[in-house]
Amino acid sequence: MTPTIVSRSSGLTARFAAVVQQAGAPEQVIPWKDPARDPKFQRAVRENRLMTVTLPTVGTKKDFGVVGFEREKNAAFLIFPKSLKKFAGKRIVGIKYDLLAAAKPEGKPVKAARVKSRVSRALKAIS
């Protein structure tokens, strides 16, 4: 399934705080692989729980979001616990990053490899 591209609408707006109040605190997701191959990302797209936040790099414009997936160079993706259907087609303004939920660790923890110090190697070579 290919991700749905959402058009930017400039007419209707909604505040980010209102979205968080209705749909819960979102978790920021960084797609390290192609979003079309990430099952968690695709499920969020299908359930309308994904918001694309556009991060303008030039000028004085502020960050804004749209419900759904939009493939962009400077974008962040937020996955909400509840559906965002009520806010579909609206431009989400007033992004407050302090309202984001803490990211949950995924996968198995990696143990650090034990490194022998030079001193212990030197002492071992002398003895």
Going from the first residue of the chain to its last (127 residues), give the mean pLDDT of each consecutive group of 10, the final group possibly shorter.
47 90 91 86 93 87 90 90 93 90 75 69 68
Model pLDDT, residue 7: 46
Domain of residue 80: give its range: 13-105
Q: Is residue 126 in some structural domain?
A: no
pLDDT for residue 16: 93
Number of domains within the chain:
1
Are 93 and 64 spatial neighbours (Cβ–Cβ below 8 Å)?
A: yes
- Beta pairing class for 64-67 and 50-54: antiparallel
Query: Residue 100's beta-bridge partner residues?
Result: none
* pLDDT of amino acid 9: 46
On whether the CB atoms of residues 82 and 3 are closer than 8 A, the answer is: no
Beta strands in the chain (DSSP E): 13-15, 27-29, 50-54, 64-67, 75-79, 91-93
Output the pLDDT for position 6. 46
